[in-house]
Amino acid sequence: MKKISLLGATGSVGIQTLKVVREHTDQFSVAALAFGKNIDTALPLIHEFRPKLVSVKDKQVADKLKIQLDDGIRLVYGIEGMIEAAVFPEADFFVNAVLGSVGLEPTLAAIEAGKTIGLANKETLVTAGHLVMKRAADFSVPILPIDSEHSAIFQSMQGQDRSAVSRLILTASGGSFRDKKREDLVDVTIKDALNHPNWSMGAKITVDTATMMNKGLEVIEAHWLFDMSYEKIDTVIHRESIVHSLVEYADHSVIAQLGLPSMLVPIQYALTYPSRLKLSQTKPLNLWEIGSLHFQKVDMQRYPSVSLAYQAGKAGGSMPTVLNAANEIAVQAFLQEKIAFLDIERYVERALEQHQLIKAPDLETIEAVDKETRAFVMNQIN
Ligand code: NDP
Ligand code: MG
C-alpha cells in the first residue's frame, strides 16, 4: 500500500490524482491532503479519502473548515502547513500538484524527509531546479515527472543507454490560439484563452499553453529533470497531442510515448513506477481513428515566450526565477482582466531585462528574487 501526501488536491491534477487512487484503493491511500481555499470541492474528498492531516491556504480557510471536520483529522495551514503535509511521517509518496513557486519549500522538505516525489508543479523546477536536483541527489530521492511531456521522455528512456541520448523533443499542442496570427491576438479574451483544444487543465497553465510559456517552462523543467543542456532540447508543435514527447539517441533512433491525451496516464505511471497498472478510465489509442499526425516547427517570432524561456534558462542563476515569477503575476493579471493577452510576455521580458543576474543563488536569494520580481511586475501593471 502506497500512502500519498497530495498538495493541490482541489486542482485539475489533484482531482485526477484522486481518480487514480479511487481506481486502485487496494494499492493507494491518502495520508495527507492540502488545498487552497476551495472548501466545497475539498470536503467530499476529505470524507471519501479520510486523510489524517489536512492543510489549507490560511487561517481564515482553516477556521471555516474546522467546524465541518471530524475529530481525529489534524488541520494546519499556510506554507508551514504544506510543509507538514509534505513530510507527514505516515506518507511515503509525495505528489506536488500545487500551482506556482509556493511549491518549492514543500518539495525541498519532502526530499529531506526521504519521500518519493511525483512532481506536477513545474514552477518548482523552473524557479530553483539546481537546488531541488542537488538535494534529491544528496538524499537519493527519486523525482518522478507527472507533467505529460516529461513522463513521456522518462518512459522513453526506460531500459535505454542514458549516456547516448542526443536530444529531447518536447511536443506542444500550440494552445488555444494556434490557428491565429500574432496580430489577431491583440484583443483576445480570457474565455478564448481558456478554451484549450486538447486538454482540460487549470486556468494558469491553460493561459501558459496559449502564450506557449508553458513549453518554455517545460524546456527548463526538462533541463533539470534529465540533466540535458539547452542545445539538446527541442520543441515541436503537434496539434493532435498524441505523441507526448520523444527522445533521440546517438544512432538517430527516436523513441516516443503515445496515447490519447489524458493526465491520468502520467499521474498513474509516477505512482506505480516501475510497474504499470490497468487504467480503465482511459481509452486505447486506435491510430486509424486519428488518421494523421502533424508536426510543425515552433516559430519564435510567433511565440516569443519560448525564446524568453530559452534565454533565461541558458543565462541560468536567478534568471529562470525571474521568468517564472513575472509570468505568474502577469498571467494572474490577465485572468483578472487587468492586462491584455499580449502584455503577458511584455511584462516577463521587462522583468528579465531589469534583473541583474545572480549566479548560483541559494534558497534565501531565490525567495528574495521571486518576491522582488512579483513586486516589480505588479508595480508596472498598476
Ligand atoms: P489548478 O489551478 O487547477 O489547481 C491548483 C491547486 O493548488 C488547487 O488545489 C489550489 O487550491 C492549490 N493552491 C493554489 N495556491 C495555493 C496556496 N497558496 N496554498 C495552498 N494551495 C494552493 O492547477 P493545475 O492542477 O492545473 O496545475 C497544478 C500544477 O501542475 C501546476 O504547476 C501546473 O503547471 C502543473 N501541471 C498541470 C497540468 C494539468 O493538466 N492541469 C499538466 C501538467 C502540469 P484551491 O483551488 O482550493 O484554492
Ligand atoms: Mg505538459
Index of the ligand 1 atom closest to the CA of residue 39: 47
Alpha helical stretches, state H, the chain: 12-23, 39-49, 59-66, 78-86, 104-112, 122-138, 148-157, 190-193, 203-211, 213-226, 264-272, 287-290, 304-315, 319-335, 343-354, 363-381
DSSP symbol at 76: E
Q: C-alpha cell of 335?
A: 485572468
Beta-sheet pairing, 143-145 with 116-119? parallel
Query: Among 146, 213, 147, 202, which residue's Cα sits nearest to residue 175?
Result: 213
> Rounded distance, CA 294 to CA 238, Å?
6
- Residue reference for cell 470541492: 41
Neighbours of 361 (CB within 10 A): 21
183 CA → ligand 1 middle, Å: 31
Which residues share a beta bridge with 255?
247
Per-residue pLDDT of the chain (382 residues; tens, 9 = 90+): 999 999 999 999 999 999 999 999 999 999 999 999 999 999 999 999 999 999 999 999 999 999 999 889 999 999 999 999 999 999 999 999 999 999 999 999 999 999 999 999 999 999 999 999 999 999 999 999 999 999 999 999 999 999 999 999 999 999 999 999 999 999 999 999 999 888 889 999 999 999 999 999 999 999 999 999 999 999 999 999 999 999 999 999 999 999 999 999 999 999 999 999 999 999 999 999 999 999 999 999 999 999 999 999 999 999 999 999 999 999 999 999 999 999 999 999 999 999 999 999 999 999 999 999 999 999 999 9
Neighbours of 227 (CB within 10 A): 11
2-145 carries CATH number 2.40.30.10: no
Helix%, strand%, coil% for the chain, nearest 5: 50, 15, 35
List, in order, residues 6 or more apart from 133 with CB less than 8 Å away.
125, 143, 224, 225, 227
128 CA → ligand 2 middle, Å: 18
Neighbours of 96 (CB within 10 A): 28
For residues 238 and 204, is the Cβ–Cβ distance under 8 A? no
For residues 185 and 342, is the Cβ–Cβ distance under 8 A? yes
Which amino acid appears at position 306 of this protein? V
245 CA → ligand 2 middle, Å: 10
Index of the ligand 1 atom closest to the CA of residue 204: 2
DSSP output for 309-334: HHHHHHH-TTHHHHHHHHHHHHHHHH
Query: Among 232, 189, 226, which residue's Cα sits nearest to residue 207?
Result: 189
Binding residues for NADPH: 10-13, 36-38, 121, 123, 202
Greatest CA separation for the chain: 62
For residues 106 and 202, is the Cβ–Cβ distance under 8 A? no
pLDDT reported for residue 197: 86
* Residue 110 exposed, middle or buried by CB count within 10 Å (0-12, 13-18, 19+): buried
Coil vs helix vs strand at 235: strand
Domain borders along the chain are 2-145, 150-315
Binding residues: 10-13, 36-38, 121-123, 147-149, 173, 196, 202, 214-215, 218
- Predicted TM-score (pTM) of the model is 0.98
Q: C-alpha cell of 130?
A: 539546481
244 CA → ligand 2 middle, Å: 9
- The interface predicted TM-score of the complex, written ipTM, equals 0.99
